[in-house]
Amino acid sequence: MDKTKFVLHMAKTSLAGAPLRIVDALNKYTKYSARLAVYLPITLPDNNYMYREDIVWQNPEQRKEIAQLVKKADIIHLHHYMNTDLTNPFMIDLVKTSKPDCKILRHFHSDKEYISKTEIRFNENFAKDDLPKVVIPHYPERTFLNLDIVPNIIPINDELYLPKETSNQKLKIVFSASNKASYKKNRWATKGYPEVSTLLRRLSEKYNFEYIEINDIAFSDAMKIKQNADIVIGDVVTGSYHLTELEALSQGKPTITYMDGRSVMTFMNTFKTKDIPFVNVNIDGLEQAILDLTKNSELRVQIGKFSRSWIEKHYDDSQLIQKFVQIYDDILANKDIDREACNEYLLAKDYLYKQVYNYKWEREAK
C-alpha cells in the first residue's frame, strides 16, 4: 500500500501499550505510516520495558530522531495533554519545528478531572485550545461529551490475543491492578485492589480455585498468564472497563467486569452491538458470578466462545483503525471532528451521563 502521509504519535508514558497498537494497525492496514515517541516508558526491575516501545526520549541516541520525525510529520498525534511549545516533556516546539501544514491532534485517555489535577491551568488552557481532539470510549468520554470517540485498538489475530484451550486441574482466575489504592479513595484511579484482592483470596479457598495476581511483569508475560487462565477479573468497582478486559475477551475468556449505565450506552453505540460480552457485575455480585462459572464448565466454555465471537464481529483491528483514518482525513481537510450533534445541551448531558452515575457510585462506596 502506498503510504502517502506520516503520523507521529507522542506520549508521556506507554499507556498500557495503547498508542503503539494504533501505530501498528496504521502501518499494517492503512495509507498512513506512523511512529511512536514515548517520553518515559515503564521500566521493570530487570531494566527491560514493560511494553514494547518504538523510540524513547530517555534514550539520548534517539532524541535527534524524534526531532527529525516532528519535522517530517503531516499529523502529530498527542496521547497525553502537553504543551505544544518548548515546555512539553520532549522540549520541542511542535508548531515551529513541524511543517507549516502539519496538524496536531489531542487524544484523551484520562478524565478531565484527573488531568486538571496534574496539569497547571488545564481548564483555562483547554477552554481556549482550538486543536482537534478525540477521546477513548471508556470512562473519560463522559467528561468530554462533545469530543469524537476513537476506540482502543488490540491486534485480535496476534498469537497472544488468540484463544488457547486450557486443561487446568485446578481452575485459574486472574486479576491485575497496577494501582493498590482502595476504590473508596478515588473512583477512576483504582480497580479497588485491597477489597477485590481480599475477596478473591477468600473465594479461592471457598471454591477451590487458583487465584493469580498480575503485577509488575512484562506485558507479553501477563498476556500468556491470562491466556492460560480460565476466568479473568477486570474492574468491578468503578463502572468502566479497561484494555485488559478487551484482551481477555479476545483470548476467549469469561471476563468479569462492571459497566454502569453510561458505559453500557457508550459501548453499544461505539461498537454497534446489541450484546454485552462481559459478565457485568460489580464487587457485590462477584462471588455469585465466580460460583456460577467455577461450578458450570459448559457455561464457562460457552461464554468464552461468545467472547471471542463478539471480538471477531465487533472489534476487528483492521476495521476499527479506519476510524483513525477518517479522523486524519477530516483534520487534514480542516473539517470539524466534534461529536455529531452533541454540542447542544451539554449541561444536561453532563448531569445525566456523569453526575447521576457519580451519585450512585458514591452511595455504593460508603
What is the residue-level pLDDT of the chain in tens, covering all 366 positions?
A: 677 899 999 999 999 999 999 999 999 999 999 999 999 999 988 889 999 999 999 999 999 999 999 999 999 999 999 999 999 999 999 999 999 999 999 999 999 999 998 888 899 999 899 999 999 999 999 999 999 999 999 999 999 999 998 989 999 999 988 778 888 777 887 888 999 999 999 999 999 999 999 988 999 999 999 999 999 999 999 999 999 999 999 999 999 999 999 999 999 999 999 999 999 999 999 999 999 999 999 999 999 999 999 999 999 999 999 999 999 999 999 998 877 656 678 889 999 999 999 998 888 877
Task: Transcribe 102-139 into DSSP letters.
Answer: -EEEEEE-S-HHHHHHHSTTHHHHHHH--S-EEE-SSG
Domains, the chain, with CATH or none = 5-155+321-332 (3.40.50.2000), 159-315 (3.40.50.2000)
Cell of 173: 482466575
The span from the CA of 294 to the CA of 271, in Å, is: 30
- Please give the DSSP secondary-structure letter assigned to residue 327: H
The reported pTM is: 0.94
Q: Compute CA 295 distance to the chain's CA centroid, rounded to the nearest angstrom.
A: 32
Q: What are phi and psi of 159, to 5 degrees?
A: -55, -45
Number of other CB atoms surrounding residue 94 within 10 Å: 21
